Structure 1
């Protein structure tokens, strides 16, 4: 709701969005703007890099759970590769068809829902690897329970996206994938535990994700509170 209100009040032709726990380096915004102009697209997304004020647990950094995917500059992104943690958009993306962020996504997920809608309308967005921002990862996010709760939220939202998928074969395949993946991750957990906490946490995080996704098929939301 806050983002939608801010966008309605904006007077310019360009909208820049970052999260409240992120900070940009110098020239970040100019780099995104130049990419939008150069590639003649409707928006550009930069990478988000984790930043620790204190030394985090070794298992957390080795697990890679804080690391988000990155793509080469100019890569045309698909909706499931998007987010609003580091993005520059033409205001026309919002104004031309009146699209906005869906408030029904209570625990997150409105970012990708927005980009999915925009792409269906023909808007294009690219990656810009030279325009990173840094996301502060406080000690509250260093616990194992935090990452498992996050996986439950993400799994539910992923299935919510699929509920609107026009290609029923694609949505059915995704459900079957989770049905197969869940017992595989459960079976691998004892082996992963012997390989280290970071390996076990990766296994459990994926297992919780697929568990939540399958529960969502039956309308069950395993984690109703977003604490990240």
Structure 2
């Protein structure tokens, strides 16, 4: 029985998956781990996955999933990982590469704290030299203080028996599914901790280093906010008031960042994201449907979880 099963979802990123698997093959610490790869892209990544398995570098299971969408892939990967019998499940996105001590650092922190969920930091690996605003604003850095599935160790025992209670289909086209799922686990009693030395690097393509991407990211967050509120309350009046409250708060941030943008371009980027969130809230409330994941026309090619769509843990009691 493995100590950990690493669950990976991939969608039309064969080069990214290859780098990720190479990073897993270099893991140190003597842990016994298996890898499951769930692929629901338009192009099969089976060749990349099986090449690593045939070389003996990894104990790997590859599954081709016809159902599109990130939620379907995530739930299938968790189900396969649970079937492995491993007491722990580690999650990565297919545009990330783990450090050589990634798994051992996550597991050591879990054992040290008794946590059920352990998050690690994700640092950017820019495809091109980034503009000043992208670095100054820290928009592509995840410190491990947010609940994300992009660098996660999960105790298998905290999963419910029914996969329909895991990642929710309502978030399949917009993102934020990890924010809702992990917050729900914590409300159910799961304890969380951060492993500062469990480092992962994320590939950031040039398309994300444009100011227009910040607006699109904010737009997606607006849709995610309304969907989260809709999951919590079915009453239309209460949903509308809560969403307006979020929009009002974002409006305050927008004004602050606009004034501050006179001194820093990073504040202007933040203002665009705030404006996008306000627009996303309004569009979602009005019934305008939009797909951010799984669409071939996605200009950012962003099939992974973004920091802006993750839940802050500032109010969490940490071990």
- TM-score over 0.5 for the pair: yes
Q: Provide the C-alpha distance between the structure 2 equivalents of 1:48 and 1:180, rounded to a whole number of angstroms.
A: 27
Report the CA distance between 1:46 and its aligned residue. 0.5
* Superposed CA offset, 1:1-29 (max 9, x none): 12221222221221110111111111111
Q: Does 1:159 align with 2:226?
A: yes
* Residue correspondence of structure 1 range 1-228 to structure 2 within 5 A: 1-10=72-81, 11=84, 12-71=86-145, 81-96=146-161, 98=163, 99-105=165-171, 106-165=173-232, 172=241, 175-179=244-248, 181-182=250-251, 185=254, 189=258, 191-192=259-260, 194-221=262-289, 223-226=290-293, 227=298, 228=302
Report the CA distance between 1:177 and its aligned residue. 4.3
CA contact (8 A) 1:186 1:207 kept: no
RMSD: 2.8
State the TM-score, normalized to the length of structure 2. 0.60
Whichever structure has more helix as a proportion of its residues is: 1
Report the CA distance between 1:219 and its aligned residue. 3.3
Report the CA distance between 1:213 and its aligned residue. 2.2
Q: 1:159 to 1:57 in 2, by over 3 A?
A: same
Aligned positions, number: 217
Q: Provide the C-alpha distance between the structure 2 equivalents of 1:101 and 1:30, rounded to a whole number of angstroms.
A: 26
Where does structure 1 lack aligned partners over 5 or more consecutive residues? Answer: 72-80
CA contact (8 A) 1:155 1:209 kept: yes
* Superposed CA offset, 1:155-178 (max 9, x none): 110121122336x98994663242
* Superposed CA offset, 1:85-120 (max 9, x none): 000111112245653211221221111111122123
CA contact (8 A) 1:47 1:129 kept: yes
Q: 1:97 to 1:186 in 2, by over 3 A?
A: same
State the TM-score, normalized to the length of structure 1. 0.81
Where does structure 2 lack aligned partners over 5 or more consecutive residues? Answer: 1-71, 303-319
Q: 1:43 to 1:87 in 2, by over 3 A?
A: same
Secondary structure of the residue aligned to 1:18 is strand
Whichever structure has more strand as a proportion of its residues is: 2
CA contact (8 A) 1:165 1:171 kept: no
